[in-house]
Amino acid sequence: MLLLAALVLTPVIGTAADKPGAKKSVKSSIKTPASETSEPTFTNKPVATHISAAIAALKADPEAGHQINGVCAACHGDSGQGGKKGEYPRLAGQNVEYLMDQLHKFKDRKRTNLPMFPYTEERELPDEDLVHIAAYLASIKLDTSFPVFKESDDALTRLLAVEKVLNIPRSEGDVDVGAKIYKTECSSCHKKDGMGHKTVPMLAGQYTTYLKRQVEKFIKGERIHDVDMKDPSKDVLNLLKPEEIRDILAFLTTLDD
């Protein structure tokens, strides 16, 4: 069963960051300081191989994706890190097929969300641009620990590096119990490391408050969790107890360490 499938890419309605009239950004004229040519050292592993392969197959334009992200950044952050309290989901490093699938659903109005509506109009996000932005966001690697800075690194370099660090804090629940439930109910689709696969989203490194809010929507029937499930009452999320969902979410906070 698709536990927590299609969780990301849904912002919260009515925040200050929603700007329906926003236009695509133009390339910044600010020059990068010379010290940024040698970036601080991070210790985390690179973008997953399967994501890199999928991006390469799309033949997307990274620069075009970077410029389009100027609009997305208002809510999802310059590096796709989302809102610090989970008001907007993390998109960085998400599976490119998943991002494209969800953007297409927004465009086709198969997935409804008011803040996303103006940004996914054809005139704002043609299919060509959709490929570029999905590939760009999927290629971003967010580290989970702070980098080691050199004495020559200036303040801007340090600030930009810190903004690319995201580690989800522990949430309430029994991690060991959650790990067992996750393995039984979720890992077949979202994989044992929580990285998902193709159109199944990555859960590792996603905000707990965001995941919890989406689970609640699935249970209430406000969103479709498993499109192949003819009887929603038999969906795994409707069969799990609240404390079991809590424990799964607690376990997920350990996957980005």
Closest CA to 144 of 211, 74, 208, 206: 206
Instruction: Check residue 238 and give its pLDDT.
Output: 93
Instruction: Check residue 223 and give its pLDDT.
Output: 81
Q: Is residue 63 part of a domain?
A: yes
Tally of domains in the chain: 1
pLDDT tens, position by position, 119-156: 999 989 999 999 999 999 999 999 888 889 999 999 99
Q: Is residue 29 part of a domain?
A: no
Please give the model's pTM, rounded to 2 decimal places.
Answer: 0.76
Contact indicator for 26, 69 with CB cutoff of 8 Å: no
- Which residue reads 């905000």 in tokens? 207
Q: Is residue 82 part of a domain?
A: yes
Using the predicted structure, report yes or no on whether residue 29 has a pLDDT greater than 50. Answer: no
Q: Is residue 120 part of a domain?
A: yes
Q: Is residue 103 part of a domain?
A: yes
Residue 111's domain comprises 1-12+47-257
Backbone angles phi, psi at 165, to 5 degrees: -105, 125
Using the predicted structure, report yes or no on whether residue 7 has a pLDDT greater than 80. Answer: no
pLDDT tens, position by position, 40-54: 554 444 556 666 677
- What's the CATH code of the domain at 120? 1.10.760.10
Contact indicator for 58, 49 with CB cutoff of 8 Å: no
Average pLDDT over residues 169-178: 96
